[in-house]
Amino acid sequence: MGLDGGYVRNRHPRPERHFEVIAGRARGPDGESRGFDFVRDRGWLCADYVREAVAGAGCDLSRMTILTDGDPGLRGMLPTLAAQSDHVRDWFHVAMRFRVLEQTAKGLVDEPPGVKAWVIKSLDRAKWHLWHGHVSRSLELLEDVQGWTHAKREAAPLVIGNLRCRLGDLPRWVAVNRDSIPFYPRRYRYGFRITTAPTESAVNQIVSRRMVKKQQCGGAERERIACSR
């Protein structure tokens, strides 16, 4: 099961009407899937929607694996939604963080070639170790690069400042989520999901329905859409 969120803003300047939609999609062992959505502020409804979707997909909630993109709010909701389920961090968002860092490091044209190559290689190795579940080694490499960006210089180039900024709290983020980082190659090899892409499409569909489309619906559907207003 995947979880993701999307913000819906009111077209009028009234902040009390802004809210966040949490959407998910549960997929059973036979390929059957069920989607659900609810507003984060109405937390008392979320457990019912999740149980209904999981049962419709033919799954057992206590044996589900939940994927999220690393949002702390979603992580905090898991004990309420499915306390006994396994939590896996979505690999796509992890890889995109490293992709931005690697592209920034390639702009270190003013540094000696050996230093530039060391930074790029360290970031690539940190991503490789994280992909293989070696969280401690990945943290060591990230902290080495982060320490290098904070070294004293007469005039720090802009690209080093950008790299330092984009590294940001990535080491802390990895450390906090280390219990949700599995051995990704095994999941990929056996066909288990490692990304929340199907869930993100569900979020886009819900936000599009709210902001763009007009449709007529029955009573049950009206109640569901009313919860998103």
CATH of residue 53 = 3.30.420
Beta strand 19-27 pairing with 86-89: unpaired
Q: DSSP character for 140?
A: H
Residue 190 lies in a domain: no
Domain of residue 128: give its range. Answer: 91-178
Average pLDDT over residues 29-44: 70
Best-predicted range by mean pLDDT among 12-16, 38-42, 46-50, 136-140?
136-140
- Note whether 79 and 107 are same-domain residues: no
pLDDT at 32 over 60: yes
| CA distance to 1, 36, 60, 86, 197, per residue, from 63 (Å) | 11, 18, 5, 8, 21
**Residues 13 and 83 placed together within one structural domain of the fold:** yes
Q: Are residues 7 and 46 in the same domain?
A: yes
CB atoms within 10 A of CB 39: 16
Number of domains in the chain: 2
Q: Do 69 and 6 fall into the same domain?
A: yes
Question: Which is higher by pLDDT, 115 or 3?
Answer: 115
pTM above 0.85, yes or no: no
On whether both 72 and 117 belong to a single domain, the answer is no
Domain assignment present for residue 140? The answer is yes
Among 11-15, 74-78, 159-163, which is the least confidently predicted range? Answer: 11-15
* Residue 114 counted as domain residue: yes
Q: What is the pLDDT of residue 199?
A: 63
In terms of domains, do 152 and 200 share one?
no
In a domain, 189, yes or no: no
Evaluate whether 4 touches 24 at the Cβ level (below 8 Å). Answer: yes
User: Are 114 and 143 part of one and the same domain?
Assistant: yes
**Quick one: 35 and 53 in the same domain?**
yes
